[in-house]
Amino acid sequence: MKKKYFGTDGIRGQVGQYPITPDFVLKLGWATGRVFSGKARQPILIGKDTRISGYMFESALEAGLAAAGVDIQLVGPMPTPGIAYLTRTFRAQAGIVISASHNPYYDNGIKFFSSQGTKLADAVELEIEKQMDRPMTTVESSSLGKAVRIDDAAGRYIEFCKGTIPSNMDFSGIKIVVDCANGATYHIAPYVFEEIGATVIRLGTDPSGLNINDACGATNPEQLRQAVLTNSADFGIALDGDGDRLIMVDHLGEIVDGDELIYIIAKSRLDSGQISGPVIGTLMSNLGLEQALSKLGLDFKRAAVGDRHVMEMLTEYSGMLGGENSGHIICLDRTTTGDGIVSALQVMVEMWRAGRTLHELKSGMKKFPQVLVNVRVEKQADLASVEPVQRAKGDVERMLNGQGRVLLRASGTEPLIRVMVEGEDEATVTRLANRLAAVVSEELAS
């Protein structure tokens, strides 16, 4: 069945525009409570990032769940992966995160985790949507849910993160810059890295409710790059607003993206005999990652874009490492979902073990130039059936002569067709991408 509200990562949109409205979120809390009300006294955990609308939606969710007779535990600002962990450790029956991840402050969303710290199954999301179509009711007063606030959640999650690396590793003498994007990691990430010995220069740790992801963090690492160079730091770490993405900067100021970080972690696991199954990327993963892993003798498979699809393929093939070039990295041997802090720690382990800089570690992978052109379209169409587009795509593939890739896909959130061309020469790739985008525009933009 097609979902009415849920996308690939919960429900997301602009605050004040349906469905990201207080009345909808109140009903969503109630519907969720109805689905989980069989274990009414087993609580549902609620966390949020730092955007101003989180206060409003936290209250709405709390009221809806209570009306359905379900108890609630409130943890306040907490990274999305932190909620996944705390849902397990508090034995909650589900976890809810109020966050729009890397989006600006005027967006928000609701994400869900199962009791095991994984994304909800499709069947559960569909059952929540089914409840949304029913009239809202309130349980008898003696059965209403109660809410309690958890005061030590941040400390618990800090200890969990540190526990994902060997305790004998001391990073004293290392100077790093950590950019928390004025988001949910502002009161967590700096302490994690300081407590393993590093000297930390903090960026993006003063959230106002309006500055989350604003010219900072994983989606805009320029501020981090400048800080690394200015402070002669060993490297920099950029997280996004809800802490599930990671981008790094080496000591030369070069950006190290998700594909390169996956390569570093994969090689580290391989060298220590700790890897199993294929490494999972997406259709957008750089061809250089695939080739570098192949040289290591590691299998690589591509999932559809989105961490949910990466997780599904990891489960299907019994893999333990996967992710996206955007920096969403899943280390299933350490946790149950993408976690920017945990991923950064795994890279630091390899730096310590190999005695090499981040710049040296990433050199084992050669990235292919990759150009992405977004074409705004007026009508949706099955691209495979648009003959001129397919003919142009075939022409570009022949010009690449087996040394590149072409990808056409419709955006899941905007009226866009994404045209991606990848190859050995940047000028050629740019020319071919623009040529193909022009054909897509001519055929579908009117």
Task: Give me the catalytic one of 37, 59, 99, 101.
Answer: 101
Query: Has residue 430 been placed in a domain?
Result: yes
Q: What pLDDT, on a 0 to 100 scale, did the predictor assign at position 115?
A: 96
Q: What pLDDT, on a 0 to 100 scale, did the predictor assign at position 38?
A: 82
Q: What pLDDT, on a 0 to 100 scale, did the predictor assign at position 267?
A: 97
Q: DSSP readout, 186-197?
A: TTTHHHHHHHTT
The answer to whether the beta carbons of residues 174 and 357 sit under 8 Å apart is no
Q: What pLDDT, on a 0 to 100 scale, did the predictor assign at position 1?
A: 74
Q: What pLDDT, on a 0 to 100 scale, did the predictor assign at position 268?
A: 97
Query: Has residue 89 been placed in a domain?
Result: yes
Percent of the chain residues topping a pLDDT of 70: 99
Mean pLDDT of 362-386: 89
More confident residue, 389 or 40: 389
Q: Which residue has the tokens 């996944």?
A: 84
Per-residue pLDDT band at 251 (split at 50, 70, 90):
very high
Which of 132, 151, 170 is where one domain is finished? 151
CA–CA separation, 239 and 53 (whole Å): 21
Query: Has residue 337 been placed in a domain?
Result: yes
Statement to judge: residues 86 and 230 lie in one domain:
no
Question: 107, 126, 105: which is closest to 183 by C-alpha?
Answer: 105
CATH number of the domain that 126 lies in?
Answer: 3.40.120.10
Amino acid at residue number 284: M
Q: What pLDDT, on a 0 to 100 scale, did the predictor assign at position 8?
A: 81
For 111-152, write each residue's pLDDT tens digit: 999 999 999 999 999 999 999 999 999 999 999 999 999 999
Statement to judge: residues 53 and 181 lie in one domain:
no
Rg value, the chain, Cα: 22
Statement to judge: residues 418 and 304 lie in one domain:
no
Omega before 19 within 30 of 0, i.e. cis? yes
Query: Has residue 1 been placed in a domain?
Result: no
Statement to judge: residues 335 and 431 lie in one domain:
no
Q: DSSP readout, 276-309?
A: -S-EEEETTS-HHHHHHHHHTT--EEEEPSSHHH
* Count of domains for the chain: 3
CATH number of the domain that 406 lies in?
Answer: 3.30.310.50
For 293-302, write each residue's pLDDT tens digit: 999 999 999 9
Statement to judge: residues 304 and 233 lie in one domain:
yes
CA–CA separation, 208 and 77 (whole Å): 13
- pLDDT of 412 higher than 70: no
The answer to whether the beta carbons of residues 227 and 201 sit under 8 Å apart is yes
The least confident of 245-249, 331-335, 442-446 is 442-446
Domain ranges, residue 90: 11-151
Which of 151, 174, 204 is where one domain is finished? 151
How does the average pLDDT of the chain come out, rounded? Answer: 95
Question: 98, 94, 116: which is closest to 107 by C-alpha?
Answer: 98
- pLDDT of 10 higher than 80: yes
Q: In what order do the strands lie in the sheet with 370-376?
A: 370-376, 416-422, 405-410
For 212-243, write each residue's pLDDT tens digit: 999 999 999 999 999 999 999 999 999 999 99
Which of 362, 389, 418 is where one domain is finished? 362
> What backbone torsions phi and psi does residue 301 show, to the nearest 5 degrees?
-130, 150
Is position 101 annotated as part of the catalytic site?
yes
Statement to judge: residues 83 and 143 lie in one domain:
yes
Query: Has residue 233 been placed in a domain?
Result: yes
- pLDDT of 64 higher than 90: yes
For 69-99, write each residue's pLDDT tens digit: 999 999 999 999 999 999 999 999 999 999 9
Query: Has residue 3 been placed in a domain?
Result: no
DSSP reduced 3-state for 310:
helix
- pLDDT of 379 higher than 80: no
Statement to judge: residues 95 and 124 lie in one domain:
yes
CA–CA separation, 244 and 2 (whole Å): 27
Statement to judge: residues 174 and 195 lie in one domain:
yes
Percent of the chain residues topping a pLDDT of 90: 91
Statement to judge: residues 388 and 436 lie in one domain:
yes
Statement to judge: residues 297 and 376 lie in one domain:
no
Query: Has residue 90 been placed in a domain?
Result: yes
Query: Has residue 6 been placed in a domain?
Result: no
CA–CA separation, 242 and 98 (whole Å): 9
Q: Is the pTM of this model over 0.85?
A: yes
Statement to judge: residues 94 and 195 lie in one domain:
no
Statement to judge: residues 385 and 351 lie in one domain:
no
CA–CA separation, 77 and 86 (whole Å): 13
